[in-house]
Structure 1
Amino acid sequence: MHERAGTPATESDLIDVEALVRAYYELKPDASVPGQRVVFGTSGHRGSSLTTSFNEHHILATTQAIVEYRAAQGITGPLFIGADTHALSAPAQTTALDVLVGNQVRVLVDEYDDYVPTPALSHAILTWNNDPAKRAEGEADGIVITPSHNPPQDGGFKYNPPHGGPADSDATSWIAARANELIEGGLRGVLQAEPSAVETYDFRGAYVADLANVIDFEAIRRSGIRIGADPLGGASVSYWGAIRDAYGLDLTVVNERVDPRWAFMTLDWDGKIRMDPSSRNAMASVVAQAGSYDILTGNDADADRHGIVTPDGGLMNPNHYLAVAIEFLFSHRDGWRPDAAIGKTLVSSSMIDRVAASLGRRLWEVPVGFKWFVPGLVDGSVGFGGEESAGASFLRFDGTVWTTDKDGILLCLLAAEIRAVTGKSPSELYAELVERFGDPAYERVDAPANAAQKAALGRLDGDSIAATELAGAPITAKLSHAPGNGAAIGGVKVETADAWFAARPSGTEDVYKIYAESFRGADHLAEVQAEAKRIVDAALGS
């Protein structure tokens, strides 16, 4: 933990936006250098222009690769494109548009030149493809330009195919390989043209108007609860006011500032500026206002993550809120299939397992990455999909798909619906779950890791774990593949009856993550964490 974690950023913490954008155009990547290649993690290619990992050549090549991929897949409809508030997002969108227009791709940008949240782009793709008349013109797909909650110096570039969610590894591997091939070839084969005019689409209007089919606004309005929403300087900044006006809510946008330096933020755990609404350090200034609202929320830069603050509990642990959201939804959505499953990533809390069992619902446990929930959300066989990192989405009232990417705005609005319908805050409802099922202690620890260390950790499997006990209890499972769909988890998970840990490399930052949970209290959790490190070190031979 950095000594200044949770304190306001100072001038020395801020990026030089002009230098960052200049480096985007001036620095040229060398594809023979691993750190300068196009690499898609769990949510697209990310990097910084200052380290020659997110520059104009990366976006030229990656966009051309996406054009070729969609052509090979027979995708002939429009491509929706949107960007968040990071400093590198606007130049990257300009670069991408040059390539898309140069390849004669029909492309739709925001009608009001506004920022576009990730869920609004997913919603646009699905809305087009679910309309038979539109679909007859060709399936749509999209590009969202965002590094999500990453620091201000970072950029991100993500492809969403016609299902509206994050592209799977087959698609991203092909796109990355082709992009690197284009960079190595001096960008020969990249077509560009000045976009004199492109079509527009009202992302905000379409998304906000359709929210009535997934959130009970009448209950929220009737309750009169006070809602505060902080976009944390991100892409949802104009969406919250539009939601307030459309549905007549007592809702205050507590921070309408957009600053690519994020000078108004408090520092995260490691002393960096990071727009993570699930971090008590990054959300410190928001939490300080908790007493002024019945529900106070935060979103990250592309609004695919949520943070829920209550006057009685402060910032909720994302796992706690997911468990409450699941119990509420599966008790208040009669239009969902009776066999609709509860989707969770295998590093999410086991409290969700116990809630699922009490509801008589099937638990569908998948690896980290929201892409795994896409098929179930599309066909309605999964009612809710959520990640411990504060990302989730769920079905409409009628059991049909809403978004197939994470929707932080939706989950924030759900917190208001929960408060309005039950008369209790989500943190009060979590306390009731604790009384029924026990009080798990959960923590994720991040630590620096280089590429070689991350690769070694990603190759671990259950057979490489020699231990038979974890913190005094027999090990009941050593997993390298997710129980829900059998997919490799890119690490390991070790379980006992009352505790577990999972170790995996980050797909977006140079860190590795050890997740651990115990239903036997904080002291036992510390034992689990200590033994987890020893077990992993032994398996890695270090």
Structure 2
Amino acid sequence: MSVHPHAGKPARPEDRINIGQLVSDYFLKVPDVAITAQRVSFGTSGHRGSSAKISFNEAHILAICQAVVEYRHEQKITGPLFLGKDTHALSEPAFASTIAVLIANGVNVVIQNDSLSGGGFTPTPVISRLIISHNKIENQSDLADGLIITPSHNPPTDGGIKYNPPHGGPAEGEITKQIEQRANALIKAGLVDVKQIPFADAIQSPLLDQQDFIEHYVSQLDQVIDMTAIAKAGVRIGVDPLGGSGIAYWPVIAQKYGLNIEVVNPVVDASFAFMPLDKDGKIRMDCSSPYAMAGLIAMKDDFDISVGNDPDFDRHGIVTKSGGLMNPNHYLAVAINYLMTHRDWPADCKIGKTLVSSSLINRVAKKIARPLSEVPVGFKWFVDGLHDSSYAFGGEESAGATFLARDGSTWTTDKDGFIMALLAAEILAVTGKDPYQHYLALAKELGEPCYGRVEAVATFEQKKVLTALSSSDITADVLAGEKITEILSHAPGNNAAIGGIKVVTENGWFAARPSGTEEIYKIYAESFIDEAHLQTIIKEAQDIVSAAFKAAGL
């Protein structure tokens, strides 16, 4: 995809959304589940869509929430449900719809204490931490779970909702499939089985509880990050929340731990009109994109470490003086190497990575003699291991990760952008070198990776073929001039289906898999030789996929 001529530049008037129209469409447009694009559809991180496209409307939220209530009843989940929202325009009406259904169904709902006055935004990792904290100390018959209203880093036109069951992390595929199917059935039947009361009545209910989520989360951060080391070193930290849900947390963190933090952009605006345009010319709060992060990158020399997060704060972007915005894969490798050599965790704790993350992580794991577990795409695959502390770290290539508390106990079972950002400051404080300098040392010792990802249009039938590919369907024995050493259709870490294929050589690999929500497929690739070798891998990967489509008559 070519770079849009306005990428990295301020949003223009024509790039901004009509919030009034978006909210009006949320209430007035009604989905037809006979149309695939208008159905409830859970991808790797919840249901997402836009009210204008009739893919995220009131009917979707009412039905999803009723389906969640029924799932809770079936599973005998009787504790509180922690509810959060981010700063997208559609999150506010969806938040209200969610409360109206949950309270009508007798669910004890807990929200941030200023959520009903236009604020009260709650990051994803905070909901995860609340669930884990409750279920750790309360009677196990009174388990808590949670919902987060967010489409993550998606454009301002989008809305989203995701469910975290009592383990605190993203719901497994079996759970989301059940919720998805029930929600679509409820919409098809005209929502007659959805219980709902007026929002004005719901917020007066004794079932609705308001708490200080910020204090709860911030007060525990020193359990997972060496805040004292950061404070003593006087690390100057620049923070751009990208208008996201964690914006009110940073000043509290700074005050409580005596950190030198400056929030360089304190604006919350549901149109996100302050954002530089992303690579494709759209407003997108992607903290791993050099275009979306252009403002913070320009300030890199003003701080020792600069950090950004997406709207629900489950992703991180790390900017250093020495190297600018770090590639997410590079930072994951540095974070893993540092944590595994600076935490007193059991030697058998696993490093969890998605199989499309950099193989530099594999080389780091081998170097420090720690077990590695490669899983399919999706953070849900790390949840069980993080929950029982058998995984010390879980991270994915799209700049999302979390890790254990310093004492080896569970911190979160969902991605935590706060701790990944603060870890960068800890690394600098403790070692005297920033994460990019550590990356250069790792690359010099273990090899410098060239990483790329491309997308291509794919029909529903082609996506089915790609999902079902196995090693026997790949006839090639050489990739980019190197002998193919491994062809995977299942992840080696848990033997779960990849939903695609991964082909490996000594110095490179590619993985091809269909998108769960769009009519495209993605190719991820990496070379430890050079950029030209990477491009050859990508070209031959496309040829291999095309051959598989041709063999299927497509």
The verdict on a shared fold, with TM-score over 0.5 as the criterion, is yes
Amino acid at match of 1:295: I
Q: How does 1:515-526 map to 2 (within 5 A)?
A: 515-526=524-535
2:500 partner SS: strand
Q: Does 1:214 align with 2:224?
A: yes
1-structure distance, mates of 2:547, 2:528: 25
Aligned equivalent of 2:349, options 321, 340, 345: 340
Q: Is the 8 A contact 1:103 1:191 kept in 2?
A: yes
Change (3 A) 1:104 1:378: same
Other-structure match for 1:382: 391
Q: Is the 8 A contact 2:87 2:245 kept in 1?
A: yes
Deviation at 1:511, TM superposition (A): 3.9
1-structure distance, mates of 2:459, 2:259: 47
Deviations 1:168-223 (A, max 9, x none): 00000000000000001010110012302311122111110010100001100010
Amino acid at match of 2:336: I
Q: Is the 8 A contact 1:43 1:508 kept in 2?
A: no
Amino acid at match of 1:462: S
Aligned equivalent of 1:310, options 307, 320, 341: 320
Aligned equivalent of 2:110, options 89, 108, 111: 108
2-structure distance, mates of 1:488, 1:441: 26
Q: Is the 8 A contact 1:235 1:303 kept in 2?
A: yes
Deviation at 1:448, TM superposition (A): 4.5
Aligned equivalent of 1:267, options 277, 298, 313: 277
Deviation at 1:449, TM superposition (A): 4.5
Other-structure match for 2:359: 350
Other-structure match for 1:402: 411
Deviation at 1:508, TM superposition (A): 4.7
Deviation at 1:455, TM superposition (A): 3.9
Q: Does 1:493 align with 2:502?
A: yes
1:536 partner SS: helix
TM-score, with normalisation over the residues of structure 2?
A: 0.96
2-structure distance, mates of 1:75, 1:137: 8
Other-structure match for 1:443: 452
Deviation at 1:3, TM superposition (A): 2.3
Deviation at 1:340, TM superposition (A): 0.2
Other-structure match for 1:6: 8
Deviation at 1:454, TM superposition (A): 3.7
Aligned equivalent of 2:125, options 96, 111, 119: 119
Q: How does 1:95-174 map to 2 (within 5 A)?
A: 95-113=97-115, 114-131=120-137, 134-136=138-140, 138-174=142-178
Aligned equivalent of 1:373, options 382, 393, 411: 382
Q: Is the 8 A contact 2:356 2:524 kept in 1?
A: yes
Alignment gaps of 5+ in structure 2:
none
Deviations 1:66-121 (A, max 9, x none): 00011101111111100000000110010011110110111111112210000000
1-structure distance, mates of 2:243, 2:529: 39
Q: Is the 8 A contact 1:299 1:306 kept in 2?
A: yes
Q: Is the 8 A contact 1:305 1:392 kept in 2?
A: yes
2-structure distance, mates of 1:35, 1:371: 24
Alignment gaps of 5+ in structure 1:
none
Amino acid at match of 1:442: Y
Q: Is the 8 A contact 1:290 1:310 kept in 2?
A: yes
Other-structure match for 2:263: 253
2-structure distance, mates of 1:16, 1:360: 54
Q: Is the 8 A contact 2:352 2:391 kept in 1?
A: yes
Change (3 A) 1:275 1:333: same
Other-structure match for 1:230: 240
Deviation at 1:453, TM superposition (A): 4.3
Deviation at 1:461, TM superposition (A): 2.9
Other-structure match for 1:58: 60
Deviations 1:399-451 (A, max 9, x none): 01000000011100000000100000100000000110111111112345455
Aligned equivalent of 2:192, options 188, 193, 196: 188
Aligned equivalent of 2:287, options 277, 296, 300: 277
Deviations 1:329-384 (A, max 9, x none): 000111x1220010000000000000000111011000011111111111111100
Amino acid at match of 1:63: C
1:237 partner SS: coil
1:65 partner SS: helix
1:50 partner SS: helix
1-structure distance, mates of 2:57, 2:148: 16
2:219 partner SS: helix
1:368 partner SS: coil
Other-structure match for 1:242: 252
The alignment of Structure 1 onto Structure 2 pairs a total of residues equal to 539
Q: Is the 8 A contact 1:337 1:380 kept in 2?
A: no
Amino acid at match of 1:8: P
Q: Does 1:463 align with 2:472?
A: yes
2-structure distance, mates of 1:36, 1:181: 13
Amino acid at match of 1:4: H
Deviations 1:298-355 (A, max 9, x none): 0001000000000110000000000000000000111x12200100000000000000
Deviation at 1:244, TM superposition (A): 0.6
Q: Is the 8 A contact 2:231 2:259 kept in 1?
A: yes
Deviation at 1:6, TM superposition (A): 1.6
Deviations 1:439-496 (A, max 9, x none): 1111112345455544443333332222111001111111111000000111111110
Q: How does 1:11-50 map to 2 (within 5 A)?
A: 11-50=13-52
Deviation at 1:282, TM superposition (A): 1.0
1-structure distance, mates of 2:196, 2:422: 41
Change (3 A) 1:456 1:274: farther
Deviation at 1:514, TM superposition (A): 1.1
Other-structure match for 1:294: 304
Change (3 A) 1:240 1:448: farther
Change (3 A) 1:100 1:201: same
2-structure distance, mates of 1:460, 1:393: 31
Deviation at 1:510, TM superposition (A): 4.8
Other-structure match for 2:87: 85
Amino acid at match of 1:126: I
Deviation at 1:509, TM superposition (A): 4.7
1-structure distance, mates of 2:288, 2:455: 14
Other-structure match for 2:369: 360
Q: Is the 8 A contact 1:17 1:87 kept in 2?
A: yes
Other-structure match for 2:434: 425
Other-structure match for 1:76: 78
2-structure distance, mates of 1:216, 1:490: 39
Aligned equivalent of 1:413, options 404, 422, 438: 422
Deviates more, 1:168-177 or 1:510-519: 510-519
2-structure distance, mates of 1:450, 1:234: 34
Change (3 A) 1:506 1:65: same
Deviates more, 1:92-101 or 1:502-511: 502-511
Q: Is the 8 A contact 1:216 1:417 kept in 2?
A: yes
Amino acid at match of 2:434: S
Amino acid at match of 1:22: S
2:248 partner SS: helix
